[in-house]
Amino acid sequence: MDKTIQKIVDDNKCTGCQLCYNVCDFDAIHIELSSEGFYVPRINFDKCINCGKCLKYCPIENDLSDYNETINVYAAKSNDEETRMKSSSGGIFSELAKEILKQQGIVFGTAFNENNRLVHIDIDSKKDLKKLCGSKYLQSDINLSYKKAKNYLADGEKVMFIGTPCQASALRNYIIDNDNLLIVDLVCHGVPSIKVFGKYLKYIFEDEKIKNIYFRDKQEEGWKNYYINLVGEESNYKKSHRKDPFLYGFLKNLYLNKICYDCPFSKIPRVSDITLGDFWGVNQELDDNKGTSLVIVNSNKGQEIIDNLILNRKISVNPSDIISGSKQNPRVIDGNMNIPKGREKLFKEIENLTFKEMDNLFIKSPKKEILQYAVKSIQTKPIVIFGTGSGGLKVFDEVKKIGIKEFKYFVDNDEKKEGTIFCGKKIYKPEKLLLDKKDKIFIIVASFYYDEISNQLINMGFREDVDFVDGISYFL
Ligand SMILES: Cc1cc2nc3c(=O)[nH]c(=O)nc-3n(C[C@H](O)[C@H](O)[C@H](O)COP(=O)(O)OP(=O)(O)OC[C@H]3O[C@@H](n4cnc5c(N)ncnc54)[C@H](O)[C@@H]3O)c2cc1C
Ligand code: SF4
Ligand code: SF4
Ligand code: SF4
């Protein structure tokens, strides 16, 4: 019987956490980049003695669900304005790291290397903290970090490790209990393909050297409308996450690792001591658009360090709960999401496609010409809005500001809404659209299920970006 992790890889369940590579005593595992652009272990069966150690530790095989219980949930922020503005959310990671470094400990986190690859590194000094700060929307190369962390602990050092929930679970499986180890994980949307990112950088910078990559720049328009900021040797690229094609495709879940669509680690309770995320939808009185963290405390050890930061006035917290923290952030509690239709096709063709071709065919990020066309259509044709949820309301408000020629009606797939009134207009079934002449109306889709609705409209004979547009992408 095969006792290796091969089945995990064959079943597309591998997270790329690299723990198997760290634990194999026979040098039989190495890590490669898969054809889709994710880290994956490969076994050299000439060296493998089928001892089963890799599978025994693999976090996919070992469910530690009962390891912790959620103790407390907070909306939190660093009291240091500069730290907060440099961080993706409320800067809680940096405050935790500063505390560990003050206690002469070691902090593991991610940084870009000279080839723009994201790697886990360890630091022992505050001057290096800026390298780790900020979310990087890529899969990191853990390399031998788990082994290194174990060696530091064996030498009596304090260690803090931050990573995605699969990486945190891997480390917990490897080092089940050690008072000197603090594990912090993130709320995790999933990791996008390193290959897609490489093509994107080439598209933006061609051969220009890239000096810095910031995925979550708050300087332009604050925490909620964050910008990607790429600093080249000669030029600079900045774009809102709502318009940048790489982030647009990432947030549409188009090129995530396969396991991220069915993530077994995005749930409560977590195996880490502390979980950090964005507190999207935090109470208005706490929201200054500079970033608020969601902090979930999962162990007494986690509570102790958070209490210490509160006592020493390093952070401010407001008690909250999982329901509030996950309302606009499903990955806090739920690892499941639909795989977009384009994903398989995109990866099938990835070798032959430039990033621009990928954008045109699959990502379909908002384009200036289409926005101009949509604005003109709204001002010259009667419009219909497809979608009557919160998206419909917001899009309706925005297009009113542009100046509508005539608003006809709303449509919605929810049969229960048929005939009811929304924003002063009647809601119809989508079939109503067929009663209008196609070139006499302009449809604005205002739903987070754009892909499904777009297919539905195409099947009804409407043309994307001609007869209808994605209202959420273009107008919010
Ligand atoms: C791929 C990814 C997806 C995410 N998805 C969500 C989400 O859906 N909802 C949500 O609320 N929050 C998500 N987050 C977390 C969020 O973006 C912030 O990182 C988190 O709130 C911590 O913010 P902070 O201000 O405390 O610290 P920051 O200064 O932002 O520090 C973040 C820390 O995380 C580490 N880190 C950054 N990128 C990676 C990476 N790719 N792999 C491993 N470790 C990394 C860094 O080393 C740094 O130490 C995600 C983060 C990543 C990396
Ligand atoms: S230990 Fe991690 S990298 Fe290895 S097979 Fe399991 S999930 Fe994949
Ligand atoms: S079964 Fe043992 S020898 Fe073979 S790859 Fe796994 S850990 Fe290495
Ligand atoms: S979504 Fe799950 S499997 Fe994917 S990177 Fe995040 S924690 Fe790992």
Amino acid at 257: N
- How far is residue 235's CA from residue 214's CA, in Å, rounded to a whole number? 15
Same domain, 154 and 81: yes
Distance between Cα 230 and ligand 1 center (Å): 18
- pLDDT on residue 54: 98
CB of 394 closer than 8 Å to CB of 415: no
- pLDDT on residue 193: 98
CA angle 139, 141, 144 (to 5 degrees): 145
Same domain, 297 and 428: no
- pLDDT on residue 191: 98
Take residue 247 and report the two structure tokens written for it.
């982030």
- pLDDT on residue 45: 97
Q: Which amino acid residue places its CA nearest to atom 1 of ligand 2?
A: 58
User: pLDDT by residue for the chain (476 residues), tens digit each?
Assistant: 899 999 999 999 999 999 999 999 999 999 999 999 999 999 999 999 999 999 999 999 998 888 899 899 999 999 999 999 999 999 999 999 999 999 999 999 999 999 999 999 999 999 999 999 999 999 999 999 999 999 999 999 999 999 999 999 999 999 999 999 999 999 999 999 999 999 999 999 999 999 999 999 998 889 999 999 999 999 999 999 988 999 999 999 999 999 999 999 999 999 999 999 999 999 989 999 999 999 999 999 999 999 999 999 999 999 999 999 999 999 999 999 999 989 999 999 999 999 999 999 999 998 888 999 999 999 999 999 999 998 899 999 999 999 999 999 999 999 999 999 999 999 999 999 999 998 899 999 999 888 889 989 999 999 999 999 999 888 88
Task: Note whether residue 65 is domain-resident.
Answer: no
Q: Select from 18, 38, 88 the residue to mutate for testing ligand 1; criterion: most ligand atoms less than 8 Å from CB.
A: 88
- Residue 9 CA: which ligand 2 atom is closest? 5
- pLDDT on residue 77: 98
Task: Note whether residue 62 is domain-resident.
Answer: no
Task: Note whether residue 161 is domain-resident.
Answer: yes
Task: Note whether residue 390 is domain-resident.
Answer: yes
Same domain, 98 and 198: no
Same domain, 167 and 145: yes
Same domain, 88 and 218: no
Take residue 109 and report the two structure tokens written for it.
């986190």
Query: What residue numbers bound the domain in which 460 lies?
Result: 366-475
Same domain, 15 and 49: yes
Distance between Cα 123 and ligand 4 center (Å): 24
* CATH number (domain holding residue 398): 3.40.50.720
Burial of 430 (0-12, 13-18, 19+ CB in 10 A): middle
* CATH number (domain holding residue 40): 3.30.70.20
- Residue 191 CA: which ligand 1 atom is closest? 1
Q: Cα dist. 434→38, 161, 385, 404, 469 in Å?
A: 44, 57, 14, 22, 17
Distance between Cα 404 and ligand 1 center (Å): 40
- How far is residue 89's CA from residue 168's CA, in Å, rounded to a whole number? 19
Same domain, 186 and 198: no
Same domain, 24 and 36: yes
Tell me which residue has tokens 């000094």.
125
- pLDDT on residue 63: 84
Contacts 24+ apart (CB under 8 A), 430-436: 430/386, 430/456, 430/457, 430/460, 433/384, 433/457, 433/460, 433/462, 434/460, 434/461, 436/384, 436/408
Same domain, 262 and 155: yes
Tally the domains of the chain.
4
- How far is residue 60's CA from residue 263's CA, in Å, rounded to a whole number? 10
CB of 136 closer than 8 Å to CB of 124: no
- How far is residue 455's CA from residue 463's CA, in Å, rounded to a whole number? 10
Is the shortest distance between the CB of 395 and ligand 2 below 6 Å? no
Tell me which residue has tokens 């103790």.
71
- Residue 190 CA: which ligand 4 atom is closest? 1
pTM here is 0.88
Same domain, 350 and 251: yes
> By C-alpha distance, which of 9, 4, 75, 446 is closest to 296?
75
Bridge partner list, 227: 217, 240
Same domain, 390 and 465: yes
- pLDDT on residue 220: 85
Is the shortest distance between the CB of 53 and ligand 3 below 6 Å? yes
- For 348, phi then psi, to 5°, come to -65, -35
Is the shortest distance between the CB of 78 and ligand 3 below 6 Å? no
Distance between Cα 122 and ligand 3 center (Å): 27
Same domain, 282 and 225: no
Q: Select from 78, 116, 135 the residue to mutate for testing ligand 1; criterion: most ligand atoms less than 8 Å from CB.
A: 135
Task: Note whether residue 361 is domain-resident.
Answer: no
